[in-house]
Structure 1
Amino acid sequence: MEKFTIYTGKTVPLMNDNIDTDQIIPKGFLKQVDKAGFGKHLFDEWRFLADGSPNPEFILNKPERKEATILISGENFGSGSSREHAAWAIQDYGFKAVIAGSYSDIFYMNALKNGLLPITLAQDIRDTLSQLPADQEITIDLPKQEVQTPEANYAFQIEPTWKNKLVKGLDDISITMDYEAEIQAYEKKMITFK
């Protein structure tokens, strides 16, 4: 997993509440098992018209928002089914973080396990962030647990274990591999018992 320490990027507001996983990545695109390639279907039913052409009214299709890598959203983000593909699609599209009012528990954990940082901030702060110009960059400082703008810094909370995993770029497999010597010793011991 890629380390997440300090990240600077542009934002895009999608301030809807209750954006569910079927809106994030519709079920018709879940046939592949590889994590790559889901980004082209992110918010598919909103991004594209019935004929498959881009919806010019949808904010991710606005030319000035094409470089956005931080999504600002409403309450209860990622509700619905437990598909991990939702986090994959958001990341594959190019987002590094989502800032919302709250998350479904399953989406929140899927995001963290895949290195996508879910930040929870209050409505008034998200309203302020949603009004930033398209070319305005903000910084997310995970070690300091702050979202930083030229005007203000906003503190956010994250469980220390997950913060440590993200800052160090550790996923479950890399953590397991820290115990490789012990695992090999155990396996050797088990062979002698057969």
Structure 2
Amino acid sequence: MFTGIVTDIGEILSVEPRGDLKRLRIACSYGADSIALGASIANSGVCLTVVAVAREVARTVFDVDAAAETLAKTTVGRWIPGTRVNLERALRIGDELGGHIVTGHVDGVARVVSRDDFDGMARFWIEAPHELARFIARKGSVALDGVSLTVNEVEGDRFSILLIPHTLAVTTLGARGAGDAVNIEVDMMARYAARLSEK
């Protein structure tokens, strides 16, 4: 479980195909001794399990395996060496819940339709996959590339978000623009509410 509050930006160092999965090696600034084997880390919103960890020069490097389902339904399959990813470690009891409850189980890939910069901020219009649009509501929550955000406006399958200067500076969203793909996870409560209303 996560909160959608990014705590580091990692860099993909290598991508190694291994049959139906890929082994990714990721550099970060977390202390190597603070990452346990088997730990869950959200990588641009995708919860992946640490399978190896080491200290290399001035940074920590950890390995994760991405299976076929993850490669097919998220942006992970497009990552190459040099790709930057938002990182968040799993929520612990007692941690501040600054964003919203995020599972790390990405629902699909959304597309940035437009970006409008003003006063150090940026307004994005995002197009969600049609089957996910019904879970997105004005003033509701959504996670894009693992970042907890508030929905401003909704028009059909499209919705807008406003990013403040801090979010643009400390996440990879600052480098996103029209045409870019982002991982999307809809609000868990919206999904359950929709399921209950079907009965």
Task: Please identify the structure whose Cα radius of gyration is greater.
Answer: 1
Q: TM-score, normalised by structure 1?
A: 0.29
- TM-score relative to the length of structure 2: 0.28
Q: Of Structure 1 and Structure 2, which has the larger fraction of its residues in helix? A: 1
Higher relative contact order structure (alpha carbons within 8 Å, sequence separation ≥ 6)? 1
- Structure 1 or 2: larger strand share? 2
